[in-house]
Structure formats: C-alpha cells, structure tokens
C-alpha cells in the first residue's frame, strides 16, 4: 500500500498557504446539499462541527454523554500552547515547531507540525473572541507560563481549568449552529460501525455510520458525504489512566476494521505528575497538571534509610534536611530542570523508585512548593494553582501548602491513532480523523499543552479547508442513502458482535467485564508500560491472548441489547481493547529502538536515555487489519525533514 501523505510542494513555511490557495471550493448553495457526520464532541469534534456548520454544511454530531460539555477535553488542566511571544522571551512559530518535533523525538511528520505551530496564534484569538477567560497579568495582557520541553513561556491558561473553559467556548459556537439549524446534535449515542460503500467509479468511500442509542438500545443509521472521527485516544486499554471511564477506542477501531490504517500504536504517553495508586479497587487516576512543575520542585530522599523511614511512617518530608534531598531532575538535567518533557520526567521518577528511593507506598516522589511559597507568597501560589491544590487535598486529605504533593507517572495520552494524510483524511476516502484520534502531530511524545492546541487547530483551522477540498467533487455524486446493502451488512455486524458477547454462558467460573479489563490493564502496565523489552513483550502477548480467550468464554454480561446496558457497552469496548493491545505489543516489538514514550530497555544510552535508530526506524508504522485473530500487516511512511536538523535529544 502506498501511503501518500499529500504534503504540498514548496518551502515549509509556505505549504499550508499554497494548499489553501489552490484548494477546491464549494459554493454556498451547494454546501447546503452536503451532509457531514462528526463523531465526538470534545474540542476537536465541537470546533469542527461548529466551523463546518458556520460554513453552511449540514452536520450531524454524536456524543456518548448527555451534553457536549461532558466530553473528556474538560479534564485538561494546565494550558494551551501558542507562539505569540507575549513575554518577549524569544518564542516564535519556528521555535514552537522545533520544540514539538524535538519533544516527539524526531518521529513526527514535519509539515503537519509546522502547520500546527503556524495556526496556534489564531486559536488564541478565536478563543478570546468566544470569551474564554484566560489568565491575565497585572497590566491586563494575556498571561503565559512555561511547560515541559520548552525554555520559553508560551502556554495560555485559565487557572487549572483550561480544558473546561476552552470546551465551553467551543460549545457556545456549536450551540449557535444548532440554533441556526446547520448542526443537529445527537446525545447518548455511540458509533458502533462505519459504513463504506463503492462510488460510481468503484472507489470505496465512507458514507455513514451505525449508532446505538444508549438509553433504548436501538440501532440507528445515518448517511453522509463525509465522516469525521474525533473520539480521543486509547489510554484506557491500561484500565488505570487519567482518561474518563467511558473514553474508549471503539469508534476509531471500527474504522480500522473497515480499512483505515492504525499508526504508531506503541506510542503511549506516561504523565509524570499523577496522584499515585491508592488501592486495588481504584477505577481511574487523577492528573495533577504539568503546570505545577513551573514552581514545584521534585525530589526524593538522598539516602535510602530516609526513604525507608518515610515509607514506614517514622519520618515525614519535613524531617528531611535540605542537604539530604535529591532534586534529581535538576541534578540530571540542569538546563531544563523540572521542565523536561513528560517521558523524560516519568522515566526518571520510575528509576528513583525502582532504586529504592520512593516515598509513600514506594511508588511516589515529592512535588514540593515550599520554596515557591517562600519566594512568591502563598497568595500568589494560590492564585496560580489554587483549584489544583484544592483537588489534591480533597482526594488525599493532605494540605499541599504544608506538605509536598506525592506524585507518580500514569498513562495519560496516546500519540498513535488512525493514520491520516496532510488533509487529516484516513486511507478510506471520505473518512477524516481529528485530535487525539489521529496520529499526526506529536511523534513519539506529546509536549504538554499541545493536546488542546492540536484539537482546536484541527477543528477550527484545518478541517474546514481540507473537507471542503474533498467535498467539492462530491456535489455531483448521488446523495448517500441508509437503505443500501452496505448499511444492512454494517448493522448486521453490530448485532452479531453484541449477540456473541451476550451469548456467553453464565458459568460458575465466569467474571464481570471489569475483572477482565483490570487484568488486561495490569498486563499492559507491567510488560508494555513505561519500559518494554523483547522478553516482556513476548510475555505480554501470551498473557493477553490467554485473557482474551477466557473473556470470550466466560464473561458475564447481564441484560439484553435492546435496553440501557452499560455492561454490554463496556464489553464491546473491551473486545476492541484486546485486539488493540495485541497490536500495541506487535508495534512495540518491531520498533527495536527507544524514542519518546516508547522505551526499549535494550536500546538506551549509558545514562539511561532513549537511544534511537534513525537508520532503520525513521518511519511511521501504519497497520492494516486482516480480520479477527489474524496478524496485522505493517506499512511504512518514511519521515523526511527539510528544516529540522536531526539530533539526539538533549535537555541537559
């Protein structure tokens, strides 16, 4: 398969301008005749639907929740990057572009990343116009703070609620289009299947979806000229993650089963600042914003006996003298200190804990604001991080103004996803993927505050152009219909999947869905988590296959498909997670190098840093589905850099 990325000709700084100059257009009268489906109402989905509706297209948008305001984008805390250079500290579009490619360990597509940096400033202007209450400095200018992987302050924020405020801005724009009648909202609906049908020339194209009404259980059909999937990432394959419990990969995986390639699934981001696991019955983890690393200092005791005393309860953090504290990030990476990228900070925390210096349960390090409070005063710290401190205190019953926070890495974001070209179109014509659902912009590691940037860039500034370029040729095609054999077959596939899961016998040795999901998550975290080896990956594959077989023989799912049935929903998601888990493992096995969030213990420098193999792995790995139970076929898209000088990442 030839993966055509469709990168425009010309200098890097002119590619997006050249694309927009030469794109095909649809006149206003014809836009009203064209239907678009958007799946997902997070930042990428809501901004795309609002923008496309404002252009005059008719949009059907679908969400799992009872309101778009409950999308998981609301959980993002720290901020959104943009190259505005308000601080006059040397930032620029080119610097943001270079930081992003470097942060991704030189495994991102250069042209897409440059476009992301190029449109970043417009995102802030758009959101300010929508009334997003970004923080401002004393003079009234928009304020910025620094984030990991950068030496400039380019992150715009609204205390620790940036995702919520940005989503409310996008929701307002979406609500306007709903009121105008250009967008139709469908809540409490889940996409179950993608419908692909040959056009008049025999080219298979995305023409609609099958959804399940989560309240009644009824299956419904929707046809359109194009489909946009914006349903987020797949971090919940690990069970314990910072994702919402109903975040899942099933919509994207349905597209994958119908022919859309899935790229770089082994690129999973571990976030360094999460509240540690506190019990066996925990269902998710809570993120503490990376912005806390601006003023908080990360440390562990310098002496093992002090760490042991803390774990035993004989000492507290206040009993450790300054000289006996190891600020290990500042020691190892003096140029960036506590603001190294997430993958670097996560591995450093794991190394200290594995060596016996961890606190709490042994799987935690301290994030300490003592010095910041002395330097700035409690009022300033409270103004910047107050709601985050409140959240930490409610969860842990510890006052972070008096004692350091305890943090440990956890699964957070996924850089892999559906393969898309420069237009954000998958290998299925008419099927587009936006935000975390695609793979395009972050390489092997996402810099903090770039998820919100990518989601809004895709929705507000990319898809309105690229979708129009695709749809310009579809005004001559027959309007898609729901009563075709392709829709019949797609609905039948959905029914058969649910019937297979519900037909499993209720044996005495059976288990509920969560039992299998927890077990899968433990296997993936233990053997394919922050570090991987050939030995651990082989063991992971063996255990996942055994667990999957047991799941399909013994899972217990009460109820029926024709009613509200959350257990059936979870079982459908988990069936997809088992297939994805095996693909993550296969992708990790073939990539015999370390880069970003993918760390192979066989491939590291003498001081424990990632060791890339540019001669053999400078590519995107895109996998083609071959049917249930069959190994997938890997295709590659070579990565070429025009403006970036490839180098070993160095944050020292």
Phi, psi at residue 253, to the nearest 5°? -70, -35
HSE-up (13 A, CA, CB side) for residue 238: 28
Phi and psi at residue 556, to the nearest 5°? -105, 120
In whole angstroms, what is the distance from residue 286 CA to residue 277 CA?
A: 9
- Using the CB atoms, write b or e for 103-113: b if 16+ within 10 Å: bbbbbbbbbbb
Give the whole-angstrom CA distance, residue 75 versus residue 300.
28
For every residue of 8-75, DSSP letters joined together read: PSS-GGGHHHHHHHH-----HHHHTT-EEEEE--SHHHHHHHHHHHHHT-EEEEE-SSSSGGGSGGGG
Active site residue 342: yes
- The angle subtended at Cα 134 by Cα 291 and Cα 179, nearest 5°, is 125
- Per the CB < 8 A criterion, the answer to whether 585 and 544 are in contact is yes
Task: Fill in the DSSP letter of residue 437.
Answer: G
Q: Are 621 and 262 in contact (CB under 8 A)?
A: no
For the chain, the straight-line distance linking the first and the last C-alpha, in angstroms and rounded, comes to 41
Of 212, 342, 352, 589, which residue is the catalytic one? 342
Q: Annotate 488-517 with b (16+ C-beta within 10 A) or e (fewer).
A: eebbebbeebbeebbebeeeeebeebebbb
Q: 170, 224, 174: which is closest to 431 by C-alpha?
A: 224
Q: 79 with 155: CB under 8 angstroms?
A: yes
Cα R_g (the chain), whole angstroms: 24
Q: What residues are labeled active site?
A: 342
């Amino acid at each position: 398969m030839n993966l055509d990325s469709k990168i425009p000709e010309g200098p890097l700084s002119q590619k997006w301008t050249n694309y927009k100059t030469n794109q095909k257009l649809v006149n206003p009268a014809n836009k009203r005749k064209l239907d678009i489906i958007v799946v997902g109402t997070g930042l990428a989905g809501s901004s795309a639907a609002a923008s496309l509706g404002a252009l005059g297209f008719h949009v059907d948008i679908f969400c799992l929740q009872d309101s778009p305001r409950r999308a998981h984008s609301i959980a993002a805390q720290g901020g959104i990057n943009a190259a505005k250079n308000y601080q006059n500290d040397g930032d620029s579009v080119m610097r943001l572009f270079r930081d992003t490619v470097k942060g991704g360990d030189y495994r991102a597509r250069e042209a897409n990343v440059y476009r992301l940096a190029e449109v970043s400033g417009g995102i802030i202007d758009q959101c300010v116009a929508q009334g997003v209450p970004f923080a401002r400095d004393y003079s009234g200018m928009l304020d910025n703070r620094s984030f990991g992987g950068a030496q400039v302050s380019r992150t715009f924020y609204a205390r620790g609620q940036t995702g919520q405020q940005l989503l409310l801005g996008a929701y307002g724009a979406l609500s306007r289009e709903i009121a105008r009648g250009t967008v139709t909202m469908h809540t409490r609906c889940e996409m179950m299947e993608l419908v692909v049908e040959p056009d008049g020339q025999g080219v298979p194209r995305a023409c609609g979806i099958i959804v399940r009404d989560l309240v009644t259980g009824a299956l419904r059909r929707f046809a359109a000229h194009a489909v946009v999937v914006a349903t987020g990432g797949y971090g919940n394959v690990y069970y314990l993650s910072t994702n919402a419990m109903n975040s899942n990969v099933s919509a994207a995986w349905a597209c994958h089963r119908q022919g859309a390639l899935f790229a770089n699934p082994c690129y999973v981001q571990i976030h360094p600042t999460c509240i540690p696991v506190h019990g066996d019955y925990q269902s998710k983890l809570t993120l503490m914003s990376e912005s806390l690393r601006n003023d908080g200092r990360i440390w562990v005791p310098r002496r093992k006996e002090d760490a042991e005393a803390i774990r035993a309860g004989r000492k507290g953090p206040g009993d450790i003298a300054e000289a006996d504290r190891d600020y290990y990030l500042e020691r190892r990476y003096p140029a960036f200190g506590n603001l190294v990228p997430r993958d670097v900070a996560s591995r450093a925390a794991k190394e200290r804990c594995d060596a016996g210096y961890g606190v709490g349960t042994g799987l935690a390090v301290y994030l300490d604001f003592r010095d910041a409070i002395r330097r700035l005063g409690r009022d300033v710290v409270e103004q910047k991080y107050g709601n985050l401190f409140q959240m930490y205190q409610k969860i842990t019953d510890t006052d972070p103004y008096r004692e350091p926070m305890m943090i440990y890495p956890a699964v957070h974001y996924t850089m892999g996803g559906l393969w898309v070209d420069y237009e954000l179109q998958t290998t299925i014509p008419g099927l587009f993927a936006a935000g975390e659902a695609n793979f395009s912009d972050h390489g092997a590691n996402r810099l903090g505050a770039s998820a919100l940037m990518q989601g809004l860039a895709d929705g507000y500034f990319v898809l309105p152009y690229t979708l129009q370029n695709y749809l310009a040729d579809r005004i001559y095609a027959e309007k898609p219909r729901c009563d075709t054999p392709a829709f019949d077959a797609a609905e039948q596939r959905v029914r058969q999947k649910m019937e297979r899961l519900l037909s499993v016998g209720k044996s005495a040795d059976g288990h509920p869905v969560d039992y299998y999901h927890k077990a899968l998550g433990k296997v993936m975290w233990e053997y394919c988590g922050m570090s991987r080896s050939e030995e651990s990956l082989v063991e992971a594959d063996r255990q996942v296959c055994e667990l999957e077989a047991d799941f399909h023989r013994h899972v217990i799912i009460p109820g029926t498909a024709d009613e509200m049935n959350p257990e059936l929903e979870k079982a459908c998601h988990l069936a997809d997670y088992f297939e994805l888990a095996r693909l993550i493992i296969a992708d990790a096995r073939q990539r015999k190098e370390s880069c970003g969030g993918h760390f192979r213990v066989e491939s590291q420098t003498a001081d424990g840093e990632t060791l890339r193999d540019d001669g053999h792995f400078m590519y995107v790995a895109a996998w083609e589905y071959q049917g249930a139970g069959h190994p997938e076929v890997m295709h590659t898209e070579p990565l070429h850099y025009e403006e970036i000088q490839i180098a070993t990442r160095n944050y020292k």
